[in-house]
Structures are given as structure tokens and as C-alpha cells.
Structure 1
Amino acid sequence: MKICYINFNLNNPRDQITLRGLKENGVSLLEISDCTPGWRKYVTIAKSYRAHRKECDVVMIGYAGSVLVIFMSLITRKSIVYNSLANFLDSMIISRRNGSYLSLSTIWYYAVEFLAFHMASLSFLECQSQKDMVVRLFKVNHKKISVHFVGTDDKQFCFDSTVKKLKEFTVMFRGMFLPEAGADVVIRAAKELEHEGIRFRIIGRGLLQRKIEELIQKLKPNNVEFITERLPIEILRDKMLECHLSLGQLAKHPRVHTTIPHKAFESMAMKLPYLTGENKGVMEVLKDGQTCFVVPPGDHFGLARKILEISKQPEDLERISENAYRLYLREFTPKILARKIVEEIEFR
């Protein structure tokens, strides 16, 4: 099988993980991308595709490429597989609030996603709850949607026994400061634990950064290391591995139920015990008390109590991290996940 894989930018983590996995399964790939501003990129992509279209069996559109699904549907008769993983309405309106539910931007996102999901022969989404949302919201036949977990680049985010843990019990929170992330919950929990010998390392930036900085200034927790600059991957990995516990999404927010954050798979691959707010998305992959720890979402008191409890149970930390690591190796490496993509395409 030869797949023509197209996106405006193929350097995003989601596409890179998929491309690597496909190559590891022996799939021949033609990669086409162009992120030139304006309409010229469509001309470039069309020319590149037409020059090689006879070589390809399937056209696959990468992450967040809804417009490209529509565009390619106009110039090819081949089956189009959309590696969507998420949808714009969920990520841009529900999460980032880029418009009200009746705004022009919302109508635009809905129209583009509606057409893309209906025009594609098959679409991949990151979890079952995301699939349920898309089927309901965009009136798509559920048989045209398949679940494909995102995974992680385990060549970058990998376990390394030579990296020593910090002397004090340290909790890691990493990611974009979006409403569903719950960075404010972490700051408030840190304040509750500032006299318990527990430290917090927060690495992130983004939409709510100013509000998070203002909260830190207001509460002044003395046990928080706050990093907002972009770190080289080697330094970021070591800073994560030095910690004893990794935190997931902790807000009480609708989007936590329709997405699984990268750091869930990163923590599994790095053998870092993972603590998350209870939600439908990540619970499709992990189980409380077996491969992760779970707390009620949006409850900083509950989070603080759970962290304090966990910090005194090194055996549980080791057991949870080992179980999750073995689960990752068994089911969620890029090669294993991409094999399921190939099987799904061949089955169709």
C-alpha cells in the first residue's frame, strides 16, 4: 500500500507520530505539504499530488486538515482518509472560546467540519467520546468514523533510569494553559501543600497564562517552580523525569470528556505515575488504581489530599507507573497504533 499523506504542515506531533508508525509498518508514503500564506499553497499541493497520483492507493489528510479534505475531494476520485483526531468546533469554540455558539466563526467551523467528515471515506478520532460527539453533532454515519488513539513520540518522551529523581517529592504539571487543563486547580492545591514538603513544577504557556500568573502573585505559594519558556526537548524530558508524579487535565470542563492529552501517553512511556481528573476521554485508556490515580475534577482540596496521600505510598507509585508503562508498550506505541490504521484502511 502507498499512501499520499497531505497537510499544510506535517511537523506537528500528531502527524509525526502517525507517519513514523506507518513507516515502521512498511507503508510507502508520499508526503506533501505547503504552508505558504494564501491560496498558492493549494496550487502547490494540487500540482504535487497530480504529479504522483498514479503511484498512490489512498489519500490521507493530516491533523486539523478539514479544508484540505474538501479541497482534495474536488480533484481526486481516490478514497480520502481523514486523520482528524479532534474537531475545530471542540478545540476552537468549546476550549479556546474563539466565538460564541452563534457567531460567524462557529458557523464557519461547523460548516467546514460537516463537509469534511461527510466527504471523507473514513475519519479517525482520538477517543470514543470524541467519536460520539462528532456523530451526534455533524450527523455522520458512525461506520465512517474510527477511533485512533494519538500516542506519543517515545523516541523523545522515553524512560531513562539514569535521570535521578529530585530529593523532595515533586509534582509535574505540563501543557498549554487552556480552560480544560486546570492549571488554576494545581496552583490552589500547591498552596494547600506548601508546608508539607511537596513541590510543584509547572511548565506551560498559552491562553490563560496571564490569569495563572496573577493567581500565583495573589496566593504566593513558596513551593512552585513556574516555567513558561519553550525548552529544548532533551531538557524538558529530563525535567519531567526528575519528578515523582505527573498531572493530567484537572478542570471541570466539557472538553476533558472528548480528548486525551498528549501527556497521558507521554507519562506512560516515561514510566511517570499519572494523576488525572476523572473524565470519559482518558478513562478509555487508563483505570483508576491500576494504571493511574483519579480525583474529582475542579476540586483543589481533593487534589491536595490525593497528592499528599500518594507521596507517602512509594509502592503504589511504582506499581501504577509500571502497569501503565507495560500497557503503553503493549498497545500504544506508534507502530502498534499505525498498524490499526492500516488494518482499518485495508478492511474498507
Structure 2
Amino acid sequence: MVEKKYLKFFMKICYFGIYQKDYCRAKNTIIGLRKCGVEVIEVQDRTPGFKKFWNLYKQHREIRNNYDIMLVGFPGQIIMPFAKLISKKPIVFDAFASMYDGNVFDRKNCSPYSLKALWYYCMDWLSCALADRVLLDTKEHAQYFIKTFRMNSKKLIVVYHGIDDNVYHPLNVQKNEKCFLAVFYGYITPLHGIEYVLGAMKKLEKENIRLWIIGGGQDYKKMKEFATNELKLSNVDFFPVMVPEKLMNFIGSVHVGLGIFGNTDKVNRVIPNKVYELMAMGISVITSDTPAIREKFTHRENVYLCKRADIDAIADAIVDIKNNQELRDHISKKALLCIKENLTPIILGTQLLKDLEEV
């Protein structure tokens, strides 16, 4: 255990693994810890194959006696056994998302009864069992890990995703005056339920409403073909993935952002990155009414919630937001305030440090 009196100003954390340095989960966590006075030493490698383990070992060997806690970043299931082998320090594992749930039940990459599904389950269970503490992004997600992987609740720490407020902030951009603009961005998977959003846009064809879909991912091509060839939509535009800086300038003129609407169980447990980011940009958000989103946000106060996987509910929500500018402005202002008061890196970093006192 690290002595409490040294935590805030002298603590050193080794942030370890194959995480993407520019992915918001790792980036926001590291920024938050550093803003709290923690020295974060990054040991990271994404070389394909087994070579990454050798590279990680060599980097870690140089600093193995020079930190207090190792934090294994997301994705880290395949790294946790290796981290446990080479480190004698307490290990915190940022599980963030379940390989088992994501691959088997959300993306449906394999049958629940296959050996591959068993492997995903075992990797989730083992990585959490080896860690001294496990980080997750919502209380609902924590309950899933407790139930599915028989985890001790005292081992779990909820760290909401939050945003990098140096990147995502309100823009002084005039809203589009020609039509009411909605935007969805991100990597399209079953979680997002884009087919229901497109169905809603079909219902709204006669309204002066357009939707921009910016992204890629598992279902991007499929959904683009569905919109073009089957629904024959004339009010939806597709754009490729954009870096955050370009994205912000591109969508600054939209009136509302869309979250997730899929019909998988995972929808109930997560708050997607885009919800936080859109709110930080001062854009009102429509997303599914789920236990996870209600942990931090309230319907018609700082978010607009509707029934998930429901074309009519999504269409009605878009029309309601479109026709009520006062409500739209209220939601965007209150959401931005919630982000500033609860979900910036320094606030989340401070909360995490308090939880790490007992590691």
C-alpha cells in the first residue's frame, strides 16, 4: 500500500500496455493524473505479434523500481498476465469494456457456445482476478462484471469517461439556417443502432431535417448501402472518419447530436464517448434511456432520452428537439455545466486518486 501522505504530490504510476496513446480513455486518464501532480511513466508498445511483449519488458526493466502502482490501460486483457509476471507492484487494470460481451453478444463475432467465446470469457475473468483493482466506466458496467465474472465489488472503481476539455469545448459557430441538422459520429457497430436512426430519417423525409453520419467501423458500409439502396434516403449524408480538430469545426453548425440506440444489452451499461464530447461542445444530445446514462444525466434537463431500438421514438425525439429551441438551449447549457463540474480530466483524476489510496 502506498502511504496516503505521499499520494497527491509524489505518487508515480506506470501506465502500461498496448493502449492507443490518442484514444480518449487512456489520454484523459493520463492527463487527469498528471494535472493532480502524479508522475505518469508510460510504457507502451503496439508492435504486432509477440515482439510487443519483449519491447514492453525492455521498457519496463528500466523503470521497474521507480513507480508505486502499475495501471494497465485498455485494451489490456491479453497484457494482464504478462504485467503480473514482470511487476511486483500493485496493479490496477482499466477493463473499461468486456471482451466477452463486446465480441460475443454485441458485435456477434462468434457463437456464445464456441471455444472462442470461452476464451474471451476466460481472458476477462483472469485479467480481473489478477488485478488489485479494476476500473470500469459506469456503475451499471460494474454490476455486469460482478454478476458475470463473480467479482468482489470492493475491487471495482468506477471512473467515468469524461472529456479532454482542451480539445472539446463550445465553438462560436453559427447554426445551419437552411435546415435542422443532426449528427452521428463514431465507429458503427450494433451498439449504435444506426438502422433505427435511418428508419427514423425515412419517417422524417418531408421535414426540413438532415442527418450527417461521420465514421467507419463494422457496419458502416452495410448501413450506407441500407440507406442508399433500400430506404433510398435523400436526407442523410455519409462522411469518413475525421480527427477531433477537423470534426469539431465540421459539426459546429449542427443543432443536435445522436448517441446510441441499439438493441444489445451493452447499450444499457455504457455512456459512449460521443455523448460526453457533444455535450462539451455545447450541442444537445438525444440518446437511449438507459440505467447507465441516468447515472449522470437527466431527461429534458441535460439530455433528451428516448426508447432504444424504436424508430418512432427516435423520430419523435428529433422533431420535439427541432420544434423547441428553448428546450434545446436549456439542455445544451445544463449538459455543458455538468461536464465542467463533474467530468473534466482533473476532476476524474482526483476521484481516481482517492480510490487508489487503498491499493
- For residues 79-129 of structure 1, the C-alpha deviation after alignment (integer angstroms, 9 at most, x for no partner) is 000122111112222221121111122111111111110110001001011
Compute the displacement of 1:76 (Å).
2.0
Give the CA deviation at 1:285. 1.6
SS in 2 for 1:108: helix
The one of 203, 221, 225 equivalent to 2:233 is: 221
1:225 Cα deviation after fit: 1.5
| Distance (Å, rounded) in 2 between the aligned partners of 1:211 and 1:29 | 41
User: Hey, what's the Cα distance between the residues in 1 that align with 2:136 and 2:64?
Assistant: 26
Match of 1:222, SS state, is coil
Aligned residue in 2 for 1:94: 105
Is the 1:127–1:148 Cα contact (8 Å) retained in structure 2?
yes
| 1:310 pairs with 2:316 | no
Taking structure 1 as the reference length, what is the TM-score of the superposition? 0.96
SS at 2:237 equivalent: strand
Q: Which runs of 5+ in 2 are unaligned?
A: 1-10
**Structure 1 position 314, deviation (Å):** 0.5
Q: Secondary structure at the match of 2:207?
A: coil
- Report the Cα offset of residue 346 of structure 1: 1.5
Find 1:5's aligned residue among 9, 15, 26: 15
Counterparts of 1:76 and 1:223, CA distance in 2: 55
Which residue matches 2:345? 334
Displacement, 1:155?
2.3
Alignment of 1:123-162 (within 5 A): 123-161=134-172
User: Does residue 233 of the first structure (1) align with residue 244 of the second (2)?
Assistant: yes
Candidates 252, 261, 268, aligned match of 1:257:
268
CA contact (8 A) 1:98 1:105 kept: no
**Residue 174 (structure 2) aligns with:** 164
Question: Tell me, what secondary structure is at the counterpart of 2:78?
Answer: helix
Write out aligned runs for 1:277-316 (5 A).
Answer: 277-316=288-327
Q: Offset at 1:330?
A: 0.2
The number of residue pairs the alignment matches comes to: 346
1:263 positional shift: 0.7
Shift, 1:13, TM fit: 2.1
Q: For the Cα contact (< 8 Å) 2:72–2:92, is it kept in 1?
A: yes
> Deviation digits for residues 51-82 of structure 1, max 9, x if unmatched?
21211011110011122221111122210001
1:55 is paired with a residue whose SS is coil
Distance (Å, rounded) in 1 between the aligned partners of 2:221 and 2:45: 33
Partner of 1:24: 35
Percentage of identical aligned residues? 30
Aligned-pair CA distance for 1:221: 1.9
What is the alpha-carbon distance in structure 1 between the residues aligned to residue 65 and residue 190 of structure 2? 45
Runs (5+) with no aligned partner, structure 1? none
The 2-side partners of 1:16 and 1:250 are apart by 26
Counterpart in the other structure of 2:5: none
Aligned-partner SS, 1:347: coil
Secondary structure of 2:234's counterpart equals coil
Q: CA RMSD for the aligned pairs?
A: 1.3
